[in-house]
Amino acid sequence: MLPRSQVALLSAIAMAGLLAACASRIDDYFALIISNIGINVILAVSLNLINGYTGQFSLGHAGFMAVGAYTAAAITMFGAPKFAPAFTQGAGVHALFPIALVGGGLAAALAGVLVGAPSLRLKGDYLAIVTLGFGEIIRVLFRNVDSLGGALGLNGIPAYTNLFWVYAFAALTVYVVVSMVNSTYGRGFLAVHDDEIAAEAMGINTTRYKITAFVVGAFFAGVAGGLYGHSILTIAPTGFDFMRSIEIVVMVILGGMGNTTGVIIAAVLLTLLPEGLRMLAGAPVSLPFSAPFNNLKWIAETRMIIYSLLVIVLMLARPQGMFSWTNRRATKPKV
């Protein structure tokens, strides 16, 4: 009999297939929002392994996402048509996309090793500054690579992303992170988080655990980047800037550091909140319920200010996270 966690994973993948089967009945705008929710869940849960469970503070998650997005797009747009044209037609397309996503994840994981090995002996503010610098370096590099579109980015990316791939990988991300943390090996992440000096005194190689967390988190961030690029069909360096990393960090902090369930809920809410404000501001006058919203058109111009204020209020009211009251590991960020 399969363990409960594996049954939950298979059930989640089956539900992702069912959701994808019903996607034709969903408006394209709402389908994009649902897809963005799944992508943000992947990003937030993978960052939670680094920031929440291992106790580090990374501000470069958007950089890993960019590496995955550009690598996956390069595979589907340039690599496959040139070296494996059979994958660009017929049934081969169904195999090409997961290969591209895994390729993007591996490229991001390699970037995680490159940035992690020399910098993860740092702690707190210093590590945050290094990862922030890494994210900006990646963005500037892509902006100056003409073969990848330069500052204008890549356009015409194939529309391979669907709700099945998004939520199948979201389920896999949650499964891997939860299984790692709850395993015997994964207790090392919690030991590093609780007291790094004591962990080292007990013989735990803290640097190895921090690099492992970075590599796994970067891999899934790269997969999320591939899904994102093949969803909006265009990517540019400006889409992976410092503010994108901050958005992901906010999801982790508001959900509760080291609280996977809370982080998932926060990712869903913070994805829906700006879109809800947009819909509130643009409610069609022809709808019966639109009359109360006729004087709220100002929300369209100030919705991001309202969004930011709501986030600030939530962080002041619940600094330990919105859903961390039952999780003993939830802590404030180490900065």
| Angle between helix 260-281 and 28-48 (nearest 10) | 150
Q: Which of 76-90, 105-119, 138-152, 199-213 is predicted with the least confidence, judged by mean pLDDT?
A: 76-90
pLDDT value at residue 215: 94
Least confident of 30-44, 132-146, 271-285, 318-332: 318-332
Q: Considering only residues 169 and 276, tell me which one the structure prediction assigns the higher pLDDT.
A: 169
Question: What does the pLDDT average to over 203-214?
Answer: 88
pLDDT for the residue 41: 97
Average confidence (pLDDT) over 240-268: 91
From 5-14, 41-50, 268-277, the region with the lowest mean pLDDT: 268-277
Q: What is the pLDDT of residue 102?
A: 97
3-state secondary structure the chain: CCCHHHHHHHHHHHHHHHHHHCHHHCCHHHHHHHHHHHHHHHHHHHHHHHHHHCCCCCCCHHHHHHHHHHHHHHHHHHHHHHHCHHHHCCCHHHHHHHHHHHHHHHHHHHHHHHHHHHHCCCCHHHHHHHHHHHHHHHHHHHHCCHHHCHHHCEECCCCCCCHHHHHHHHHHHHHHHHHHHHCCCCHHHHHHHHCHHHHHHCCCCHHHHHHHHHHHHHHHHHHHHHHHHHHHCEECHHHHCHHHHHHHHHHHHHHCCCCHHHHHHHHHHHHHHHHHHHHHHCCCCCCHHHHHHCCCCCHHHHHHHHHHHHHHHHHHHCCCCCCCCCCCCCCCCCC
Is residue 263 scored above 80 in pLDDT? Answer: yes
Q: What band does 294 get if pLDDT is binned at 50, 70 and 90?
A: low
* Residue 1, pLDDT above cutoff 80: no
The per-residue pLDDT for range 25-82, each reduced to its tens digit, is: 888 889 999 999 999 999 999 999 999 999 888 898 999 999 999 999 999 999 888 8
How much is the average pLDDT of 141-160?
Answer: 90
Most confident of 69-73, 121-125, 270-274, 303-307: 69-73
Average pLDDT score over the chain: 85
Taking the domains of the chain in order of start, what are their residue ranges? 4-240
